[in-house]
Structure 1
Amino acid sequence: MTTRKLYLGPLTDNRRWDMVRIRPDDVFVVTPPKCGTTWMQTIVALLLSGDPDVETELSVKMPWVDIRIREMAEVADRLEAMTHRRSMKSHTPMDGLPLDDQAMYLCVFRHPLDAHFSYRTHVRNIPMSWFDMWYPEDDPDGVTFRRFLDGGAEGFDTDAMPLAHILQHYTAAKALADRPNVALFHYADMKRDLAGTFARVADLLGLSHSDAVMEKLVAAATFDNMKQNADRYAPSGGKGFMKSDSDFFHSGTNGKWHGTLTGAELAAYEAIMDTYLSPEDRAWLEFGSEGVPALS
């Protein structure tokens, strides 16, 4: 941990990575919550298998290493026993992860407000009261959004996904984006061009499938198919981890915050974004490649 930043929250602990022996062909999916984590994991699982009917079982086969729910020794032993190419999930920013020169890091981002509103829905769908203080069900005074803006990037606030944590994720990933094994993706681009996303990930992972197979893999990873088969695609699907596996894939749409936030709330958000990001970085973090004007 001497060269890694400490991210220690009530739910997650990035020191758990100390027990994982990284392999050169490992694939890391690194994201803030609700930014397309499960979607990218599914894309990776489909590409690694080449099978549109593969049982992804993400929580077991592609585990979230940071989370404290499972004993780390058991997770580490399970990972070490895997003989196939491995993939793992993390909600820790890149400056808190073990960096291997050959392992691949796929970092996925989403408009911070879309991620925030998706997280609001998510906390209502988990049968644990971890974040009731941050996300009260009855919130006439806008406590939830104030805490989203005011929360810190580390410590207790980490797991409640405040804006500062999303910005830390982005700046840490962008600082490493010149490495050939660190790639940034955006949820909006994945929605616009899912086939193109599959092609890019396949290229990064050194994988190749026929056009016919790729077409079937892409079809399996559409939002409608994943929602219709939520017990198969949701994290810990069919095991009662969430109140509704189907609701984990709530709508897959963006912009739900339009007309919900007040002018003052939006102004406060915009002030933070403009303070911490350049106009180009803000445009990409919010809207992906379509947010950044093409070079003339």
Structure 2
Amino acid sequence: MDMSQFQLGEEQMLPRPDIFDFEGISMIHYFTDNWEKVQSFQARPDDILIATYPKAGTTWVSYILDLLYFGQHSPERQTSLPIYERVPFLELTNPFLPSGTELADKLTTSPRLIKTHLPVQLVPKSFWEQNCRIVYVARNAKDNLVSYFHFDRMNMGQPEAGDWNSYVEKFMDGKIVFGPWYDHVNGWWEKKQRYSNLLYLFFEDLVEDTGRELERICSFLGLSTAVEEKERIREGVQFDTMKKNPMTNYSTVPVMDFKISPFMRKGRVGDWKNHFTVAQNEMFEEHYRRKMRNSTLAFRTEL
């Protein structure tokens, strides 16, 4: 589908959506308009759900899985289908694309790769009933915050970001789309202890050694991918390669203003140091300790 046909003039730009409380978390209508169909979505046993808090490596892991399953057999898929059509975003409805549930239902691939940002308690129950495999990616809070801030600045489909200081407050209060980071990463972490078909990955580990994490993913999915193919995938999913690839960098999406910031900005660990003041960092650390004191999750904020 050629998204350029949807390019809007500035005067036609849709207003940014308002945030509201929905099922106990902050949401916007683009993720709730199709709620009935999302909740009644029929998963299949071989579906693979890629779940993350926004800006935690969703596109990265989606692309890795897509290449693992379909990279060799359908090269035309790699050059003609943007990642958001190969891996539909389950809860999304927007004016430019069929809804996520519609795109997922139309997928002819097996397995179907589907992505979601929903907190664990809102995932359609058929995924659990079918015992689907789920790959979750978590990213340390500070880098996640920075990435989300720049994303909200450039994505007209998201609420207004405001300035950096107020954004830090909003993040700490969980008043951004998909709710508190703390609840999201912890909810999925707790689920992992009870649900064996869930692989919990860390963005920082992927940055540190993509090859090693690729092995973990293959082992979880039961794939015996050839060494040279894994190496080809590892090279193909390097951040700078994906950033230049129009099929993975979201440059074809009209609501994103790349003049403000690219969708794929840095993909690094520790960029928070370029944003947080000393005082902000101390305040954030104190709040973080309170929020995470009962969690066994441990994150790295630098490598």
Question: Does TM, scored on the shorter chain, surpass 0.5?
Answer: yes
Please report how far the alpha carbon of residue 158 of structure 1 lies from its aligned counterpart in structure 2 after TM superposition.
4.4
Q: Which residue of 1 aligns with 2:93?
A: 68
Give 1:279-294 correspondences, 5 Å limit: 281=296, 284-287=298-301
Instruction: For 1:2-81, list aligned pairs within 5 A.
Output: 7=25, 9-10=27-28, 11-13=30-32, 15-51=36-72, 53=75, 54-55=77-78, 57-69=82-94, 75-81=100-106
Is the counterpart of residue 83 in structure 1 residue 108 in structure 2?
yes
Amino acid across the alignment from 1:150:
D
Q: Give deviations 1:108-142, integer Å, cap 9, x for gaps.
A: 1111110111112212322x16422xx225x5xx2
Report matched runs for 1:233-272 at 5 Å.
233-235=248-250, 237-244=251-258, 247-258=262-273, 260-272=275-287
Which of residues 159, 175, 185 in structure 2 aligns to 1:131?
159
Which one-letter code corresponds to 1:109 in the other structure? A
- CA-to-partner distance for each residue in 1:95-118, whole Å, 9 max, x for gaps? 211323521111111111101111
Cα contact 1:29–1:88 (8 A) shared by 2: yes
Q: 1:265 to 1:234 in 2, by over 3 A?
A: same
* CA distance, structure 2, for counterparts of residue 259 and residue 74 of structure 1: 37
- Give TM-score, length-normalised by structure 2: 0.78
Give the deviation of 1:285 after TM superposition.
3.0
Provide Cα deviations, 1:149-201, integer angstroms capped at 9, x if missing partner.
Answer: 223xxxxx341x66xx1111111111111322111110110011111121111
The separation in 1 between residues aligned to 2:196 and 2:173, in whole angstroms, is: 34
Residue pairs, 1:188-267, within 5 angstroms: 188-229=204-245, 231-235=246-250, 237-244=251-258, 247-258=262-273, 260-267=275-282
Distance 1:81 1:145 in 2: 39
Name the amino acid aligned to 1:12. Answer: F
Which deviates more, 73-82 or 92-101? 73-82
Q: CA deviation at 1:83?
A: 3.0
Q: How many positions carry a matched residue from both structures?
A: 268
Q: Partners in 1 of 2:36 and 2:230 — Cα distance?
A: 37
Separation in 2, partners of 1:287, 1:63 = 30
Structure 1, unaligned stretches of length 5 or more? 152-156, 291-296
| Closer/same/farther in 2, CA of residues 130 and 239 from structure 1, 3 Å limit | closer
Cα RMSD of the aligned pairs, angstroms, is 2.8
1:78 positional shift: 3.6
Whole-angstrom distance in 2 between the partners of 1:131 and 1:223: 27
Q: Percent identity?
A: 21
